[in-house]
Amino acid sequence: MGRKMDASDRYFFKELESSEPGDQVPFKELVERLTFNDAGLIPVIAQDAETGRVLMLAWMNRVALEQTISTRLMTYWSRSRQKLWLKGETSGHYQLVQSISFDCDGDAVLCKVRQKGSACHTGRKDCFYLDLDMDGEAVTITSKRA
Protein backbone atom coordinates (compact mmCIF):
# COMPACT_ATOMS: atom_id res chain seq x y z
CA MET A 1 0.00 0.00 0.00
CA GLY A 2 2.76 2.43 0.93
CA ARG A 3 5.51 3.40 -1.42
CA LYS A 4 9.03 2.85 -0.16
CA MET A 5 11.79 5.16 -1.28
CA ASP A 6 14.18 3.50 -3.73
CA ALA A 7 17.61 4.49 -5.04
CA SER A 8 16.19 6.61 -7.87
CA ASP A 9 14.07 8.55 -5.36
CA ARG A 10 17.07 9.17 -3.11
CA TYR A 11 18.99 10.37 -6.18
CA PHE A 12 16.08 12.64 -7.18
CA PHE A 13 15.99 14.35 -3.76
CA LYS A 14 19.80 14.44 -3.58
CA GLU A 15 19.84 16.29 -6.90
CA LEU A 16 17.33 18.83 -5.56
CA GLU A 17 19.80 19.69 -2.77
CA SER A 18 22.03 21.44 -5.31
CA SER A 19 19.16 23.35 -6.93
CA GLU A 20 19.09 27.12 -6.79
CA PRO A 21 16.16 29.28 -5.63
CA GLY A 22 13.74 29.63 -8.52
CA ASP A 23 14.62 26.27 -10.11
CA GLN A 24 11.54 24.14 -10.71
CA VAL A 25 10.61 20.49 -10.97
CA PRO A 26 7.25 19.23 -12.29
CA PHE A 27 4.86 18.39 -9.45
CA LYS A 28 3.87 15.14 -11.17
CA GLU A 29 7.50 14.04 -10.96
CA LEU A 30 7.82 14.98 -7.28
CA VAL A 31 4.51 13.47 -6.13
CA GLU A 32 5.44 10.12 -7.68
CA ARG A 33 8.56 10.09 -5.49
CA LEU A 34 6.95 11.02 -2.17
CA THR A 35 7.30 8.35 0.49
CA PHE A 36 4.00 7.14 1.87
CA ASN A 37 4.06 4.65 4.77
CA ASP A 38 2.72 1.09 4.67
CA ALA A 39 -0.81 2.44 5.20
CA GLY A 40 -0.39 4.76 2.20
CA LEU A 41 -0.07 7.86 4.38
CA ILE A 42 2.35 10.75 4.72
CA PRO A 43 2.52 13.06 7.78
CA VAL A 44 1.39 16.64 7.28
CA ILE A 45 1.98 19.61 9.56
CA ALA A 46 -0.56 22.45 9.54
CA GLN A 47 1.10 25.74 10.48
CA ASP A 48 -0.56 29.12 10.97
CA ALA A 49 0.54 31.21 7.97
CA GLU A 50 0.53 34.45 9.98
CA THR A 51 2.03 33.47 13.33
CA GLY A 52 4.12 30.43 12.39
CA ARG A 53 2.53 28.45 15.25
CA VAL A 54 2.24 24.72 14.54
CA LEU A 55 -1.46 23.96 14.74
CA MET A 56 -1.58 20.21 14.28
CA LEU A 57 -0.03 17.09 12.83
CA ALA A 58 -2.22 14.76 10.79
CA TRP A 59 -1.99 12.35 7.86
CA MET A 60 -2.79 12.46 4.15
CA ASN A 61 -3.04 9.84 1.50
CA ARG A 62 -2.50 10.81 -2.13
CA VAL A 63 -6.20 11.55 -2.69
CA ALA A 64 -6.28 13.87 0.34
CA LEU A 65 -3.21 15.69 -0.98
CA GLU A 66 -4.77 16.08 -4.42
CA GLN A 67 -8.07 17.34 -2.94
CA THR A 68 -6.21 19.79 -0.72
CA ILE A 69 -4.39 21.16 -3.76
CA SER A 70 -7.53 21.43 -5.91
CA THR A 71 -9.86 22.90 -3.25
CA ARG A 72 -7.32 24.87 -1.18
CA LEU A 73 -9.07 23.45 1.90
CA MET A 74 -7.13 21.06 4.13
CA THR A 75 -8.26 17.50 3.59
CA TYR A 76 -6.75 14.72 5.65
CA TRP A 77 -7.07 10.96 5.98
CA SER A 78 -8.79 10.10 9.25
CA ARG A 79 -7.10 7.02 10.63
CA SER A 80 -9.85 6.52 13.23
CA ARG A 81 -12.71 6.78 10.72
CA GLN A 82 -10.76 5.30 7.79
CA LYS A 83 -11.99 7.95 5.38
CA LEU A 84 -11.16 11.35 3.94
CA TRP A 85 -11.71 14.20 6.38
CA LEU A 86 -12.28 17.77 5.24
CA LYS A 87 -11.10 19.81 8.23
CA GLY A 88 -14.03 21.97 9.34
CA GLU A 89 -16.70 19.94 7.55
CA THR A 90 -18.71 19.47 10.74
CA SER A 91 -17.23 22.15 13.04
CA GLY A 92 -16.91 25.01 10.57
CA HIS A 93 -13.24 25.35 11.63
CA TYR A 94 -11.78 25.18 8.13
CA GLN A 95 -8.13 25.52 7.25
CA LEU A 96 -7.58 27.63 4.12
CA VAL A 97 -4.36 26.63 2.37
CA GLN A 98 -1.85 29.40 1.74
CA SER A 99 1.12 27.25 0.68
CA ILE A 100 2.29 23.65 0.52
CA SER A 101 5.91 22.52 0.90
CA PHE A 102 7.62 19.14 0.95
CA ASP A 103 10.63 18.23 3.07
CA CYS A 104 14.06 17.41 1.67
CA ASP A 105 13.48 13.63 1.79
CA GLY A 106 9.95 13.63 0.36
CA ASP A 107 8.47 12.04 3.46
CA ALA A 108 6.60 14.95 5.10
CA VAL A 109 4.33 17.81 4.03
CA LEU A 110 4.08 21.31 5.51
CA CYS A 111 0.92 23.32 4.84
CA LYS A 112 0.66 26.94 5.86
CA VAL A 113 -2.98 27.74 6.50
CA ARG A 114 -5.39 30.41 7.65
CA GLN A 115 -7.26 28.73 10.49
CA LYS A 116 -10.94 29.54 10.94
CA GLY A 117 -11.80 28.85 14.58
CA SER A 118 -9.95 26.18 16.56
CA ALA A 119 -7.58 23.65 15.03
CA CYS A 120 -7.81 21.19 17.93
CA HIS A 121 -10.82 18.98 18.62
CA THR A 122 -10.58 20.16 22.27
CA GLY A 123 -11.59 23.65 21.19
CA ARG A 124 -8.08 25.06 21.59
CA LYS A 125 -6.40 27.13 18.90
CA ASP A 126 -3.78 24.41 18.33
CA CYS A 127 -3.12 20.81 19.38
CA PHE A 128 0.25 21.51 21.04
CA TYR A 129 -0.85 22.84 24.43
CA LEU A 130 0.84 20.22 26.63
CA ASP A 131 4.31 21.63 27.40
CA LEU A 132 6.91 19.49 29.13
CA ASP A 133 8.82 21.37 31.82
CA MET A 134 12.48 21.04 30.89
CA ASP A 135 13.28 19.35 34.19
CA GLY A 136 11.13 16.48 32.92
CA GLU A 137 8.97 16.44 36.03
CA ALA A 138 5.66 17.84 34.79
CA VAL A 139 3.57 18.78 31.79
CA THR A 140 1.85 22.17 31.89
CA ILE A 141 -1.41 22.99 30.09
CA THR A 142 -0.59 26.21 28.23
CA SER A 143 -3.88 27.31 26.66
CA LYS A 144 -7.55 27.17 27.46
CA ARG A 145 -10.48 26.02 25.45
CA ALA A 146 -12.27 28.59 23.36
Average pLDDT over all residues of the chain: 93
The residue count for the chain: 146
What the chain holds in terms of domains, given with CATH numbers, is 7-117 (3.10.20.810)
- Indicate the pTM of the whole model: 0.89
- pLDDT per residue over 48-71, tens digit each? 999 999 999 999 999 999 999 999
- pLDDT per residue over 114-142, tens digit each? 999 999 999 999 999 999 999 999 999 99
Using a CB cutoff of 8 Å and minimum separation of 24, what contacts does 126-130 make?
Answer: 126/48, 126/53, 126/54, 126/55, 126/56, 127/55, 127/56, 127/57, 128/54, 128/55, 128/56
For residues 133 and 139, the answer to whether their CB atoms sit within 8 Å is yes
pLDDT, residue 2, reads 63
